[in-house]
Structure 1
Amino acid sequence: MHPFFLTVIGAIFILSLVVILLWIYGREKKYLNALLAAAIFSTAWYAFIFLLTSSGQIQYYPMLFNKGLPLYYFIGPCFFLYLRGALNPQFSKFRKSHLLHFLIAIPAFISVTPYNLLDLSQQQAVVNRVATDLHYAFSGEKYIVEPWHWFAFPISGLIYSVLQVRFTYIVSKQKLQMKAIRWAYLFSGLLILIFTGMLGLNLAILQNANSAYFMLHKSPLILALSLTLLLLSLSFFLNPELIFGFSIKEDEQNQHGTVSAAQSQPHFTEKRKIKPVDKKLIAQVEHHVIENQAFKQTGLTMSGLASQMDVPNHKLSELFNNHYQSNFNTYVNKLRIEYVKQRLDSGDWKQFTLEAIALDAGFSSRNTFFVAFKKAVDKSPSAYLSDLKSR
């Protein structure tokens, strides 16, 4: 098998694995991870259909042909909106204005409609011709999408990738999340290379359609594109904290507590060596979390905080276990509860609902807030508020 095919197959496999991992471990950032999963799926679909078309195997799957074009226009906007929200929590929630980014796909839906209205035998005739004549796939015939899409799609992706670089540069001036910043630059750079390569390849084919087979199988550009796609798929594992929101190890701690019941027994604490407290790290954490109010970020995790501060995750884990003697969630929720109490004590309950104040404090839901408040204050938020009103 040609190295190009093997490389693309490897990239598709890894991209599919990332989508699965997002589904399993990325539920803390549902909207952002939905954007990322949509972009990755669309990228993998493009690579898959490209393989089928260039190898001639598309003739066996007429129902798959001309289905993915609208998805290709989603790649640029989804990656951009995801990265922007991941680097700045202010943009991490859905807004109606985000839908404007996807209007670009409407012409693509229109272009693929004629083919998809054909019956199965007519679709089979079209894909049979595509399989035997790659020139036909770029011809702009009635049941083949217009050639201008092969320019518009990569150009739109290229524009969004450049916007990613610009936004990353703006965030980098804050000198926070430096690990995430470096990853964002790398990731955006790979996307720029891919979209530029696509544009160059499509231009070359349209200018010399008779050489389409050679360009899609043996040209250095197609091999470079496939290798860059493989690197892009691997890049998702360079900064898993940013992508999945938390590590598997931390997720297990959040579910079962910092230590198990067995580990809380005396013979465990006797064997445990207390490491010296890093006062500089304590000051750094408290400045960022308390003074800069990072605790108000919905879905903040220890891995996410480590990424923001450019500190190894294991150092923060040691700090919370040894110095604060608390797991990360308990520490953050305590700060959030104190923030809510301050606002309630100052009379903010007269203008805002409890839920609004809780959401501003960083709680992801009403139920999470009520449970945390009752645990910390030993009374429900409603009872606390009633006491305030009776004073």
Structure 2
Amino acid sequence: MLLFLSIAGIFLSLLLLYFNAKKFASTTYLGIFFFLISLYGLYQYILLYSKSVTLISLFLFNLSLFSSPVYLIGPMLYWYVRSVLTDDPKLKRSDLLHFIPAIIFFISALPNTFVPWQEKVEVAKTVVSDQSYIMVYKATLLSEFLSSATIFLTRLFLVLGYTIWSIVLFINYIKKRKSSSVFSKQQFMKKWLCYLLGFMLILVISQLFMVSKSFEMHFPAIFFTFNIIRVISVVGLVGLLISPFFFPTILYGLPRMPERNEEEKDNRLTNETKPPSNSFESDYLQSIGLKSDSLMKEKQLYLEPECNLGFFSRQIDVPAHHLAYYFREIKKQRFNDFRNEWRINHAKSLIQEGKANEITLEAIGSLSGFSSRNAFITDFKKTEGVSPSVYASRFN
């Protein structure tokens, strides 16, 4: 079961990363999170159940590659939850601190990688015949200062800490929902995060109990005698891996229309026997287009130098990945091109009013929201087919 779940989880995470990493940055954290969880499960299976000398030799002596990434499970979960709540997947400089535990373990485990193969095989044979040998075997330089139990439990306590941190972050968001709008068009995301964090909490607590007890008893016995804890752990892992299939929109970033009020529902049910399955989505996407054009026209947001997708998302009160989906799939245009069209039209209006006779073209580009002269000229030629100077000569 553990082997099957681990392989399935790795397969799921690779699909998630392949299809979504470039489109939805926050999904990258989720894909890596699932991959590391599955890798940890595979590592656990090989050491405890496989009885394969070759596999144990590979995994036990390459902890720098197979075990140090486990320290990133917590950060990936936290970054994913934070990016969903803030609609901003970018890492900050302070986020580099989250890599420190993984780097420390990687460095401490690296020398063990270069042990002669025959010695690796001998240790693996010992582990196969007596799994309690893992308790005393010094696999890393940290083993000189810390007990094996401390090293094993540190990983899980770190994951538990990040899980609790993510839960607190989510609860604080729920409390302050009136001052935030990232879920305004995707209420289902609340349920998804509840499932994700809930199953993760079940999994990490059950694993903590199993590992801590295993160092109190005969090491392998815990994985065969405490059946209830094993079942709870499997439930947490299964729930974690299959939960995305109940919320497919979180995998592909597809927007969904919020629930209509009761009166609208009654009218819809009265006038339609069976509405199209994508009616909510179509209405929602259409509303994004109308709202985008209206806001650009009324507030002239394109004049703001920092007018990017994230900035526009906050102003229009629509999640950034919904906007990205709208411009890519519906409008067939990048947001920057959409914004620059408004900027070019504004510059053309200034030129037509005779401003080119009063100020430089570079100043006109700056007044239209462009950050540099080259950007103004390049985008103007791309849109109009001629340079700003040629266009302005028509109105001298």
Q: TM-score with structure 2 length normalisation?
A: 0.66
Q: How do residues 224-239 of structure 1 correspond to structure 2 at under 5 angstroms?
A: 224-239=232-247
For residues 131-188 of structure 1, give each alpha carbon's deviation from its aligned partner in whole angstroms, at most 9, with x where no partner exists.
1212121235356953212221111111111222222234441352321122112101
Q: CA deviation at 1:105?
A: 1.2
Q: CA deviation at 1:295?
A: 8.4
Give the letter aligned to residue 309 of structure 2.
K
Distance in structure 1 (CA, Å) of the matches to 2:4 and 2:282: 46
Q: How do residues 212-361 of structure 1 correspond to structure 2 at under 5 angstroms?
A: 212-219=219-226, 220-246=228-254, 285=288, 296-297=309-310, 328-330=330-332, 333=335, 336-337=339-340, 340-341=343-344, 347-348=366-367, 352-353=371-372
Q: How do residues 178-197 of structure 1 correspond to structure 2 at under 5 angstroms?
A: 178-197=187-206
Give the letter aligned to residue 78 of structure 2.
F
Q: How do residues 10-21 of structure 1 correspond to structure 2 at under 5 angstroms?
A: 10-21=4-15
Asked if 1:124 is matched to 2:121, the reply is yes
Q: CA deviation at 1:109?
A: 1.7
Distance in structure 2 (CA, Å) of the matches to 1:215 and 1:343: 71
For residues 92-116 of structure 1, give each alpha carbon's deviation from its aligned partner in whole angstroms, at most 9, with x where no partner exists.
1244332221111133224423432
Distance in structure 2 (CA, Å) of the matches to 1:30 and 1:241: 12
Structure 2's unaligned 5+ residue stretches are 256-275, 302-306, 351-363
Distance in structure 2 (CA, Å) of the matches to 1:113 and 1:385: 62
Q: CA deviation at 1:218?
A: 3.9
Please say if residues 38 and 78 of structure 1, whose CA atoms lie closer than 8 Å, have aligned partners that are also in contact.
yes
Equivalent of 2:97, from 100, 124, 129?
100
Distance in structure 2 (CA, Å) of the matches to 1:242 and 1:385: 47
Equivalent of 1:79, from 77, 80, 93?
77
1:288–1:354 Cα change, 3 Å: farther
Q: Larger relative CO (CA 8 A, sep 6+): 1 or 2?
A: 1
Give the letter aligned to residue 149 of structure 1.
I
Distance in structure 2 (CA, Å) of the matches to 1:195 and 1:142: 23
Please say if residues 32 and 82 of structure 1, whose CA atoms lie closer than 8 Å, have aligned partners that are also in contact.
yes
Distance in structure 2 (CA, Å) of the matches to 1:225 and 1:46: 13
Distance in structure 1 (CA, Å) of the matches to 2:7 and 2:153: 27
Distance in structure 2 (CA, Å) of the matches to 1:276 and 1:190: 32
Q: CA deviation at 1:129?
A: 1.4
Q: Percent identity between the aligned chains? A: 15
Secondary structure of the 2:36 match is helix
1:123–1:140 Cα change, 3 Å: closer
Equivalent of 1:63, from 58, 62, 67?
58
Asked if 1:36 is matched to 2:34, the reply is no
Asked if 1:147 is matched to 2:166, the reply is no
Larger radius of gyration: 2
Cross-structure match for 2:269:
none
Give the letter aligned to residue 46 of structure 2.
L
Distance in structure 2 (CA, Å) of the matches to 1:120 and 1:202: 28
Give the letter aligned to residue 352 of structure 1.
S
1:343–1:79 Cα change, 3 Å: farther
Equivalent of 1:168, from 167, 170, 183?
170
Distance in structure 2 (CA, Å) of the matches to 1:215 and 1:157: 21
Please say if residues 25 and 246 of structure 1, whose CA atoms lie closer than 8 Å, have aligned partners that are also in contact.
no
Q: CA deviation at 1:336?
A: 3.1
Secondary structure of the 2:331 match is helix
Q: CA deviation at 1:238?
A: 2.6
Equivalent of 2:384, from 374, 379, 385?
379
Equivalent of 1:52, from 43, 46, 49?
46
Equivalent of 1:25, from 13, 19, 28?
19
Structure 1's unaligned 5+ residue stretches are 1-5, 248-272, 310-315, 321-325, 358-365
1:60–1:217 Cα change, 3 Å: farther
Please say if residues 30 and 80 of structure 2, whose CA atoms lie closer than 8 Å, have aligned partners that are also in contact.
yes
For residues 1-27 of structure 1, give each alpha carbon's deviation from its aligned partner in whole angstroms, at most 9, with x where no partner exists.
xxxxx2x23322331232232243214
Distance in structure 2 (CA, Å) of the matches to 1:70 and 1:338: 48
1:109–1:331 Cα change, 3 Å: closer
1:104–1:35 Cα change, 3 Å: same
Distance in structure 2 (CA, Å) of the matches to 1:138 and 1:350: 64
Please say if residues 27 and 33 of structure 1, whose CA atoms lie closer than 8 Å, have aligned partners that are also in contact.
yes
Please say if residues 56 and 132 of structure 1, whose CA atoms lie closer than 8 Å, have aligned partners that are also in contact.
no
Please say if residues 28 and 245 of structure 1, whose CA atoms lie closer than 8 Å, have aligned partners that are also in contact.
no
1:87–1:340 Cα change, 3 Å: farther
Please say if residues 214 and 220 of structure 2, whose CA atoms lie closer than 8 Å, have aligned partners that are also in contact.
no
Please say if residues 130 and 137 of structure 1, whose CA atoms lie closer than 8 Å, have aligned partners that are also in contact.
yes
Q: For structure 1, which segment, 111-120 or 96-105, has the greater mean C-alpha deviation from structure 2 after superposition?
A: 111-120
Q: CA deviation at 1:123?
A: 1.0
Alignment root-mean-square deviation, CA: 4.4
Q: CA deviation at 1:385?
A: 8.6
